Amino acid sequence: MAQATPHTLPFRPALAHMRSQRIVEVAKVTSSHPGAISLCFGETDLPTATVVREAAEQAMREGKTTYADRRGIAPLRAAIQEYHHRTHGLDIDLDRISATSSGMTSIMIALQCLVEPGDNVVVVAPIWPNIVIAIEALGAEVRFVQLDAEQDRWSLDLSAVDASCDERTRAIFVASPGNPTGWTMTSDEQRELLDLARQHNTWIISDEVYNRLVYDGSFAAPSFLEVARDDDAVFVVQSFSKTWAMTGWRLGWLVHPAALAHQVGNLSAINSTGSATFVQHAGVAAIRQGEPFVGELMARCLDGRNMVDDALGRIARVSAPPVPASFYAFFRIDGVEDDLAYAKDLVARAGVGLAPGSAFGPGNEGWFRICFAQDPQRLATALDRLVAAI
């Protein structure tokens, strides 16, 4: 009897139908195009603050390179606790705080706590594609609820969320501020969504990783932690990647009900054995000494947002709702249907890489995301090219 070769052995059917990474497709084309400027990915070109890098170096010199507690080292969890008090005036019990090896790991842990094959998760879209892939990889169904882009602003129809929930809905996933739109919920909207989740006996997973990148003068965007009870069925996801430009460090945290501390710790150990110990010490420095850097990043983002607004406003074919938060602009080009092909064509014609809107869920064809947390001269060059090409 012939022995099966590895590539013919059976594997989970859900993996065969996982969505393609359309942002990565464009990024690959951009990287192979000489002189092209990539604005595909969600990161600034500012390096991580010196004080954070030095903290990691010092921790390594001191031999802090062994396993850490599966829910994070005590100094980091204490710093996160202080941070929530500073940003929102909250006193979060340490039993509710778990450090993870990234915001994405936090999302996976939350989903692994809740989702089984055959369940569904209601997802407010447009949304970062990895969220969708994670849900589908666990064998669950994604039910998209599309934001409306009417009257020049994004808004959420809560009745559509309500209609999408049923007895197999295990969570409502919402990112506020959102990627790619920058849409941000008010505290009243968060209360209404929380009440709806309670009615359906389902959880909320709130991705709040862009909560410091807001343009209305607030110190931070509203958080579900401000409106939820300590024991509410709410996970809040946070990350060091955006606020402190630590995308490559892989460090995040999760706020959860205290009753799930043991389960979250176990899942953290299974997923990644936690973030590197010296990286966690760098995270302490980011929270306690990184505010000057946050101010520098915000200044760059504000300049970038203004530059993008000015450039896109000069193109009659473009519709671009205002950006209240995050470091992205999400805009539509009239007449474009195949946004992936158009994004690749922009690389060839203009030497600029953008994320295609269809990457962020169905209904976003003809839209594009641009990351404007860039060096002003580099961004200006890219925008000049785009205006000419579009």
Residue 7 clears pLDDT 90, i.e. is over it: no
Give the residue carrying structure tokens 């010296």. Answer: 278
- pLDDT tens for 265-274 read 999 999 999 9
Neighbours of 89 (CB within 10 A): 8
Taking every pair of Cα atoms in the chain, the longest distance, rounded to a whole number of angstroms, is 71
Distance CA 144, CA 69 (A): 36
Residue 29 clears pLDDT 60, i.e. is over it: yes
Q: For 54-72, give the secondary structure using H, E and C.
A: HHHHHHHHCCCCCCCCCCC
Q: Taking a C-beta distance cutoff of 8 angstroms, is the pair 172, 165 a contact?
A: yes
Rounded mean pLDDT of the chain? 95
Residue 1 clears pLDDT 60, i.e. is over it: no
Answer positive or negative: Cα dihedral of 186, 109, 329, 126. Answer: negative
Distance CA 6, CA 10 (A): 9
**What is the chain's alpha carbon radius of gyration, rounded to the nearest angstrom?**
21
- pLDDT tens for 309-354 read 999 999 999 999 999 999 999 999 999 999 999 999 999 999 999 9
Residue 8 clears pLDDT 70, i.e. is over it: no
- pLDDT tens for 189-228 read 999 999 999 999 999 999 999 999 999 999 999 999 999 9
Contact residues for 283 (Cβ-Cβ < 8 A; gap 6+): 52, 76, 79, 99, 240, 246, 249, 251, 275
